[in-house]
Each structure stands twice: as C-alpha cells, then as structure tokens.
Chain A
C-alpha cells in the first residue's frame, strides 16, 4: 500500500542531543500527525497539525505542517533514554478524523545514555 516517505529510517544518538526527522508526500494532506510506537504496543499520538504552516510544540517535541501541505517535520530537543522507539508520521485527508490515515515507514530512534 501507499506510504509516506519518512527519513531517516534510523538514528543512533547520544543522550542530550537534538533529533530531527521528516516526512514527505506526493499528495496533499489536510492533517499531519506524529505518533510514537514502543515494541509490542500500538502507536501513541504525540502531536497533531491541522493548518499549513502551523508550528506546534508538546514539551520537548516540536512539529511543523509544511506550507505545501505535502511535508512535515518533527524535532525532539535534549533527547533522553525514554525517547527510544519508532516514530511515525501520518497524513489524513479529512479534518474530522472520519477517513483513513496514511503512515510513513517510521524512524527508529536509539539513544545512548
């Protein structure tokens, strides 16, 4: 099935470093979402973006909805060991969550204490 292009596929960083990952699509989305998934669990929503150009923060996480509506990035500042996991971007066409999500392939983050 179709997925968004997410990069990098994996990152291995030192605790305290900042992290940046991004997601691009050939299609326009009206909503961009960022999720974190721990092993054996379902994805957990981190940040939701509803408007082109929007910049939203949630603690140490900051995400932006690209102006073209075809891309988004997620930054994590001052990483800590519990940030380890797989981060997924997801695009949605409908703003009221009635339609499906299209997911990226994920960025696996590993943090060295």
Chain B
C-alpha cells in the first residue's frame, strides 16, 4: 500500500460529460502529480502541485483542470469528454517537488463511451 488514495477506481461516462477524479496524497507529502496512461502513449505527465500551488504543467488539455486544496488532496476535472480521453489516470505524491521518489495511487480507469 503506497498510502496514496485515488477515487473512484472505475468511471464509465459518455462523451461530452464532465468528471472529477480525486487523490489523497501520502501523509506529509506536499507534492501531487497527475499522469495519464493510455496504451499507445505511455505515461504522460499532466500537472504537478506543491503545497497548493501549481508547480509544473505538462501535456494537459484545456478541457482538463486540476487543483490542490488546503488539506493537500487534489482533484482532476475532465470536461467535454471525448472517446480518446479513455485512459488510466494516476495520481502520485512525493515529499518534495520535482526531484524525488514518487508514490503512486492505484489509478482511476476512465471509460468514455
């Protein structure tokens, strides 16, 4: 058990809809990272937050947004969903920002039908 909790584990929705994925980092970790994993694209970095502030941004679509709350949990919002957004979304946490060992959650499997 990594100590990182992601909910829900599975999500099935329709095109055009909006969903929210939630992540609770390991106790004491200030950084939260979001990744998207699809079969043909590997693990793509989306965004990183450190202690409530956006620290780094990767290939995150404008339809996607994220935030980290004062209690350090994070949410990834995906809107106007398309078939191609179907993927496994991972959250990871670390104690520092951008250089250390990551602890991954078990992921949210999103299926857009």
A and B found bound together: no
